[in-house]
Amino acid sequence: MTILDQLAEHARERVAAAKREIPPEEIRARALQMARAERARGGERFFAFEKALKKPGMSFICECKKASPSKGLIAPDFPYLEIARAYEAAGADCISVLTEPGWFLGSDAYLREIAAAVSVPCLRKDFTVDEYMLYEAKVLGASAVLLICSILSGEEIARYIGICDELGMSALVEAHDEKEIRTAVEAGARIIGVNNRNLKDFTVDTQNSRRLRACVPEGILFVAESGVRGPEDVRAMSEAGADAVLVGEALMRAGNKKEMLQRLREGALNIAEKTGSRPRIKFCGLTRPEDILAANSLRADYIGFVFWDKSKRYVTPAQAAQLRKLLAPGIKAVGVFVDEEPAQAAALLEVGIIDMAQLHGDESEAYISTLRTMTNKPLIRAFRVRGQEDLEAARGSSADYVMLDSGAGSGEVFDWSVIREAGRPYFLAGGLNAGNVEQAVRVLHPFAVDVSSGIETDGVKDIKKMAAFAAAVRQER
């Protein structure tokens, strides 16, 4: 038997013992009760793990572990609460807590106490072999669990993800090769981790993440696990397109964890380096099949459907569904809403008519919180920029992305000097066209540029103007 086989078998024995102590129906009832209570409080903790990984730039999952099969005893003195608090103070995005007791000398008690002591989301790092362990993780305070393709079938992974969704938890699905990545994708994984450590013999190959990154579709969060020792390794993972890295031994052995995490952060690419100098392109307000085909041919990154019935570019959900069928793979469909009922926006996201929601009215943080209890799809919050107060509001938004605009479809340019230091990546909108977007890209370096009226003639999308806009953004003139 490989070490992984032994770990999985031991996990089954542990589950059998746990079921004798707390019956499955009881642990499930406890977990569901916790989920209902969190939902009643607004659901802010729901899917906290993946929300943390969605932030712009590299996210860091910092690990608390006492030992490992490959390194033996890592931390003879293991003040786990002190370590977790140090990670939180250092700016960790998430904390991974080993609960496997045999080889890693972990404990459920470590997770329970750490989750109660820190505000950052915690991952239960264990060898999940039974749905009982999912309910157990929720009761212990975990925001996420690890599902390993090597010890689970695709059907089990899909079922376990469904249970996690019901509990408001995230699932980090771990793969080691192309076949396992396909299994994870087909099972509906929203976060895929590629382990650079071979769990059969525990050797490490940091090229594994680089080789397999291209196999993970856009829109699925990608985590590089194991083998991160210094900033050069973070840089390599960042260049490969990782959204997050999981770091264990390097941090556990560091005397000053804050300094070590800061060193690791220095290796991460900034947004401009990661996406290149070219921002992403969003063609908004598309209403006709020929508009979609033009966006496909011009390799847009996003297209927008306007679901506000006061707009001249309004489309119904049924019309958008038909247009979506023509959209090329890889292009994200964004639904533009103005003070829409959250349930209506969530419904269009969940049935797949759109991939993201753009909030263009007076939607509050409470609105966003409510919408997040209904869907975990990305949200863009638009802000009309008139001064620093609006920019501060944008910086503090809990939305996945912000849009800085001159107003709802005004077609006017605002004072760009206000946003020279925006403080976070953003979509730039408002009065853009082929004549001014090149300057905007050169001066402001936005994450994405959004255009609607600037690519129209007599209120209709003009493929020549769309092509000229794309060429200007890409500096192909």
Cα angle 228, 231, 233 (rounded to 5 degrees) comes to: 40
pLDDT (0 to 100) of residue 75 = 87
In a shared domain, residues 260 and 318: no
Residue 388's pLDDT is 80
Q: Judge whether 169 and 143 are in contact, CB under 8 Å.
A: yes
End position of a domain, from candidates 248, 269, 290: 269
d(CA 394, CA 400): 11
- How is residue 214 annotated by DSSP? G
User: 157 near 39, Cβ under 8 Å?
Assistant: no
Q: How far apart are CA 192 and CA 258, in angstroms?
A: 27
Nearest to 346 by CA among 333, 356, 338: 356
Asked if the structure places residue 34 within a domain, the reply is: no
Has residue 35 been placed in a domain? no
Known catalytic residue at 164:
no
Amino acid letter at 297?
S
* Whole-angstrom distance, CA of residue 281 vs CA of residue 451: 8
- Around Cβ 390, how many Cβ atoms within 10 Å? 17
Task: Give the separation between CA 51 and CA 167, rounded to whole angstroms.
Answer: 15
In a domain, 441, yes or no: yes
Q: How far is CA 234 from the centre of its chain?
A: 18
pLDDT, residue 326, reads: 95
Residue found by looking up tokens 């408001």 in the block? 168
**Which residue, 222, 251, 269, sits at the end of a domain?**
269
What per-residue confidence (pLDDT) applies to 411? Answer: 59
Residue 279 inside a domain? The answer is: yes
Task: State whether 172 and 303 are in the same domain.
Answer: no
Phi, psi of 350 (to 5 degrees): -70, -30
Six token digits for residue 156: 């089990």
Domain that holds residue 69: 3-28+41-269
Q: Are residues 455 and 319 in the same domain?
A: yes
Q: Pick from 269, 302, 336: which residue ends a domain?
A: 269
Whether 105 and 251 share a structural domain: yes
Nearest to 9 by CA among 102, 104, 73: 102
For residue 96, the domain's CATH number is 3.20.20.70
Residue with tokens 């689970």: 152
Assess if residue 33 is contained within a domain. no
470 located within any domain: yes
- Buried (b) or exposed (e) across 289-326, using 16+ Cβ within 10 A? eebbebbbebebbbbbbbbbeebebebeeeebbebbee
Say what the pLDDT of residue 197 is. Answer: 73
Query: 144 near 122, Cβ under 8 Å?
Result: yes
Query: How many domains does the structure of the chain reveal?
Result: 2
- What is the four-CA torsion angle of 84, 147, 32, 165, rounded to 10 degrees? 110
Same domain, 143 and 236: yes
Do 140 and 188 lie in one domain? The reply is: yes
Which one is catalytic: 130, 284, 291, 450? Answer: 284
**From CA 228, how far away is CA 80, in angstroms rounded?**
21
| One domain, residues 202 and 313 | no
CA triple 225-227-228, angle to 5 deg: 85
Q: Which residues pair with 449 in a beta bridge?
A: 281, 428
71/108 same-domain check: yes
Q: Are residues 210 and 133 in the same domain?
A: yes
Residue type, position 460, single letter: V
Q: What is the mean pLDDT of each run of 10 residues along the chain (477 residues)?
A: 89 97 97 93 85 87 90 89 94 95 95 96 97 98 97 96 96 93 94 81 71 84 88 84 90 90 80 62 97 94 96 96 93 96 96 95 92 89 86 85 75 72 78 92 87 95 96 79
E-only strand ranges, 141-181: 144-148, 170-175
Token output for 264 = 């690791």
Question: Is residue 284 among the annotated active site residues?
Answer: yes
In a domain, 373, yes or no: yes
Q: Do residues 254 and 282 share a domain?
A: no
The closest alpha carbon to 250, from 241, 237, 239, 263, belongs to 263
Residues 441 and 342 in one domain: yes
**Co-location of 358 and 324 in the same domain:** yes
